[in-house]
Every structure is written in C-alpha cells, then in structure tokens.
Amino acid sequence: MTLYAFKPAFVRWVRPTAGRLARLGVTANEVTVASTGLSLAIGFGVAANADTRELFLLIPVWFPLRMVLNAIDGLLAREFYQRTPLGAYLNELGDVVSDAALYLPFALVKPFSALSVGTVIFFALLAEFVGALGATVGGERRYDGPMGKSDRALVFGALGLWVGVGLPASVWMSWLMPALALLLVRTIVNRARAGIRFARTLRTDVHAHESWTRNSHENGA
C-alpha cells in the first residue's frame, strides 16, 4: 500500500486549477521547472542555515504544494496535449533532483549523518529509476510502494515539522534512515518484479492475439 493510491482523488481536486492555468498559457514544462527550482532553493537554503531550526518548517509546508504542482504538470501534459520528449525528461529528473535537495538538510541534524541520509537519497533515486524502466521493457511506469515519492514526502515532511518546532531527538530516530533505506530496497524489488510481470503478461496477450488472428485468416482461406 502506498499513498499513490489516493492520487486519482487528488488529481480530481486540482483539475480545475490546471484548466485555468492552461487557459492562461502556462505549460507543463514551466510548472515542472518552477517546482524543481523552488525545491532546490528551499533544500539548499535550509541546509545552508541548518542551525536555524525554524527553517525546517518550510519543508512540510512545501511538500504538499509540490505535490499539487506535480499533479498540475501531469494534467497539463495529458489532458491539454502538452506531452513532449523534453517534458518526460524534466519530469523524471526534476523529481529525483527535488527529492535529493529536500532530504539533504537532514544530513546536518543529529542523530542523522551524511552517510545515512545519502544512502536514502541514493535508494530513492534508484527506486524512481527502476519505476521509469517499467515503460522501457514494454510495460508501464511503476509507482509501487511501500516507500514511493508520496510516502517519502509524508515521512520527511513530518520529520521537518519535528525538527522545526524544536522537539528533542529521540533514540528511535537513529534507526529512521536505515529503516527508510530498507523500505526503499523493498520498493525497488517490488517495482522491478511488477514491471517484469506486466511486460510478460502484455507480451503473452499480444502473442495470443497474433495467433488468433493468424488462425482466423488460415481458417477463412
């Protein structure tokens, strides 16, 4: 189970806003670039001033806004015929770059470390890479959990709130990054398996259809 399952309802909620933006001439690529740029600014800005704990409150505020923008750029691309090869690259690269920037400040918060947060960033990048590979093997882009992009946003948003309001570090927090890394490994495996399974099923269906068509022609002849 992953928060991605709630995306259809979320998309319905932001669809009117996407329509208004389309009428104003705003493009999907512009939304993607703006979202990525703001994520980088917030992530590096908080990291550069990590001693000011209140700045970490920007992270839980920004994550839901970023999800809105991500839904809007998808709607503009799909429903307003703005799909482009460049947009596909911007969308995938923007997501992993934004995630890395927004996770980065926590490497400067004890009991976390650069190694533990860096490991989470690496596996998060790998999870999105494997998800994108689903389309290249004849299947579809995979969003399987248990630690998809939306789930990570919830975890790091809650963590940003914890740090931002000045709550003390607890013993359990030292295990949080390793636990996230393990959940991301599971996510990678799930996405790879689901992508392979979907591609095999699709190939089987295509072969069955081709065989049926060939037999129909031979019987008709």
Per the domain annotation, does 30 fall within a domain?
A: yes
Q: Is residue 159 part of a domain?
A: yes
Q: Write down the pLDDT at residue 5.
A: 67
Q: Which domain holds residue 194?
A: 3-202
Q: Is residue 215 part of a domain?
A: no
Question: How far is Cα 160 from Cα 116, in angstroms, rounded to an integer?
Answer: 16
For the record, the structure tokens of 144 come out as 């399987």
pLDDT of 221? 52
Say if 208 falls within a structural domain: no
Q: What pLDDT is attached to residue 218?
A: 55
Q: CA-CA distance, 21 to 57, in Å (whole number)?
A: 28
Q: How much is the pLDDT for 1?
A: 56
Query: Considering the entire predicted model, what is its pTM?
Result: 0.87
pLDDT for 136 equals 84
Q: Along the chain (221 residues), what's the average pLDDT of each consecutive run of 10 residues?
A: 69 90 95 97 97 96 94 92 92 95 96 96 96 84 91 96 91 91 97 88 58 55 52
Q: Is residue 219 part of a domain?
A: no
What is each CA distance from 10 to 35, 70, 141, 181, in whole angstroms? Answer: 18, 11, 19, 27
Question: Is residue 172 assigned to a domain?
Answer: yes
Q: Tell whether 83 is covered by a domain.
A: yes
Q: Count of CB atoms within 10 A of residue 130's CB?
A: 19
Q: What is the number of structural domains in the chain?
A: 1
Burial class (CB in 10 A: 0-12, 13-18, 19+), 61: middle
CATH of the domain at 141: 1.20.120.1760
Q: How far apart are CA 196 and CA 173, in angstroms?
A: 35
Would 63 be classed as within a structural domain?
A: yes
Dihedral sign, Cα of residue 157, residue 158, residue 160, residue 165: positive
Do residues 137 and 198 touch, judged by C-beta distance below 8 A? Answer: no
